[in-house]
Copies of this chain bind each other. A is one copy, B any other.
Amino acid sequence: MITPTLTTAQYLALYRQMVEIRRTEEQLAKAHQAGLIPGACHTYVGQEAIATGVCAHLTHEDAVFSTHRGHGHALANGVTPREVMAELFGRVTGCSRGRGGSMHLFAPEVGMMGTSGIVGPCILQAAGAGYSARLLGNGTVGVAFFGDGASSNGAFHEGLNLAAIWDLPVIFVCENNLYATEVPFSYATRNTDMAERARTYGMNAYTVDGNDVLAVYAAAGEGIRRARAGEGPTFLDCKTYRTRAHSEGMPSLGTYRTQEELDAWKARDPITTYRTRLLTEEVAFEADFALIDTEVQALVDEGFDFAKSSAYPDPVTVAEHIFSDRQ
């Protein structure tokens, strides 16, 4: 038996979510090559288990803050593939109305409070959502997704410390994919045990296999339970790997990664390993996956057509909403 114990529907929902992210981004990668994406495109391919395992525990009242690699977080929070693709295509139907692109995905209606082109702020903002939760006593949590590269930044130090000393209901999810663009994590720090470092702030912390959706689901579940119970913040160091380039158009190996390393991680693909596992454990069967795969592909295809055929924003709206109407 595999832990945690979920219903078959739940097991399959996790699979479906990962596949939705993967297919959407494969579509985005193609679209980028086809010139449909005017700006940058940072894919999440290889890291899907993390957003999926964490966000499965969240409601739309919880507040998620993410970084430049945020497609997966948006999708796992309930932003639809069509809204994400439309956004990257710069269309008014995008989740940010075409104002943001890959690095600025906003959908507060589902708790996606924004991704950021600047590394660091999401950590602090998630702490702020935790502060609101405590002040309002509404039982919500703040969640920050960020990379290993953010852990050297002052925002990491200041944000973790504030969450710790004020027992804020926050989950800090580090997606530790070993590199910040081309800078290895092992170069950026002498201490690659991030959970240990998080504990020095007096915070609950777990080291997690970021390619194992059930491991992420379990650790995040415990962290979120604690947070909602007023037991303060939790840090997750999720070890993972991005199998595509840092950004579409850049070399996927570059001067800093080896083919061996890439292949080794591809062999640990979070989707295929999970699928195999559910099969061997007889939790689900080929037919289940086949059905989901088809449904998701249809959803993504429909979303792509929708995005491609959506209108661009009207230039006359360019300066709207800088300020609230309220005076």
Contacts and interface: CB of A to CB of B under 8 A. Distances in A.
Interface of A: 152-158, 161, 164-165, 187-191, 196-197, 200-203
A161 B196 CA distance: 15
Which A-B residue pairs are the 9 nearest by beta carbons?
Answer: A154-B154, A190-B202, A157-B157, A164-B190, A197-B200, A191-B202, A154-B158, A200-B200, A191-B200
Copies in the complex: 2
Contacts of A156: 157
Nearest to A157: B157
Contacts of A201: 189-191
Contacts of A154: 153-155, 157-158
Nearest to A196: B200
A164 B202 CA distance: 22
A187 B157 CA distance: 16
A48 B36 CA distance: 66
A158 to B, nearest CB: 5
A27 B300 CA distance: 77
A61 B196 CA distance: 38
Contacts of A197: 200
A190 B163 CA distance: 10
